[in-house]
């Protein structure tokens, strides 16, 4: 049995070949080999024009015709993300800026890189030695000694001089990590 070609199946439904198709501009007898969308809501249906008439059609085409400013803005924003849903960064918008949340940021900013210290009457409590050591290891309470040990091993491997080609900054950071681990080791004992 002969295998049927996909093009043969779709012949009655497809567009006529370019050499048979005429320009759809009234009175034009040239071949219609250039397609143009029929309307904003029918982008998969086309008019077929010759080169001169498709250029004229494109000059007069306005996708946003008939829309007000809010509809245009909504469409533009929808197209910015390729018509896919989007969410704010973070865990479904839980992380907000400090000025949005009166209780401060909702993530641990141990070194204060992201938010300046407020000059108001409410002052942050000074950090204990244990909290400072946890901050150096990039950990947040509550933690177990196994968490501390695992983080120490990972940082020691990452900051070791053999892994960093003698980088002095990495060596200094490794010294701080070693001191922090020693302090936490004593506090967990």
pLDDT (tens digit, 9 = 90+) per residue, 71-80?
999 888 888 8
Average pLDDT in the 83-110 region?
58
- In terms of average pLDDT, the best of 7-16, 73-82, 101-110 is 73-82
Comparing 9-18, 93-102, 115-124, 175-184, which segment has the lowest mean pLDDT? 93-102
C-alpha span between 178 and 110 (Å, rounded) = 18
Indicate the average pLDDT of the chain. 79
Interhelix angle 145-159/168-188, rounded to 10 degrees, is 160
- Closest by CA position to 28, among listed 59, 56, 58, 49: 49
Average pLDDT in the 37-50 region?
89
pTM: 0.36
Q: Is the pLDDT of residue 95 over 70?
A: no
DSSP state of 144: -
Average pLDDT in the 105-122 region?
60
C-alpha span between 113 and 61 (Å, rounded) = 50
pLDDT score for 99:
47
Q: pLDDT confidence of 117, banded at 50, 70, 90?
A: low
More confident residue, 175 or 122: 175
């Amino acid at each position: 049995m002969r295998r049927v070609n996909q093009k043969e199946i779709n012949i009655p439904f497809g567009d006529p070949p370019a050499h048979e198709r005429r320009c759809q501009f009234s009175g034009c007898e040239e071949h219609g080999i250039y397609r143009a969308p029929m309307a904003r809501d029918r982008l998969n249906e086309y008019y077929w024009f010759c080169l001169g008439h498709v250029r004229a059609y494109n000059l007069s085409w306005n996708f946003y015709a008939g829309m007000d400013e809010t509809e245009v803005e909504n469409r533009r924003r929808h197209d910015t993300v390729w018509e896919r849903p989007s969410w704010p960064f973070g865990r479904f918008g839980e992380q907000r800026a400090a000025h949005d949340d009166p209780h401060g940021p909702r993530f641990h900013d141990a070194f204060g890189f992201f938010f300046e210290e407020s000059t108001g009457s409410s002052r942050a409590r000074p950090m204990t030695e244990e909290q400072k050591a946890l901050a150096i290891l990039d950990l947040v309470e509550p933690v177990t000694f196994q968490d501390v040990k695992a983080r120490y091993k990972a940082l020691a491997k990452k900051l070791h001089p053999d892994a960093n080609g003698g980088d002095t900054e990495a060596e200094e950071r490794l010294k701080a990590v070693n001191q922090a681990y020693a302090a936490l080791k004593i506090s967990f004992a």
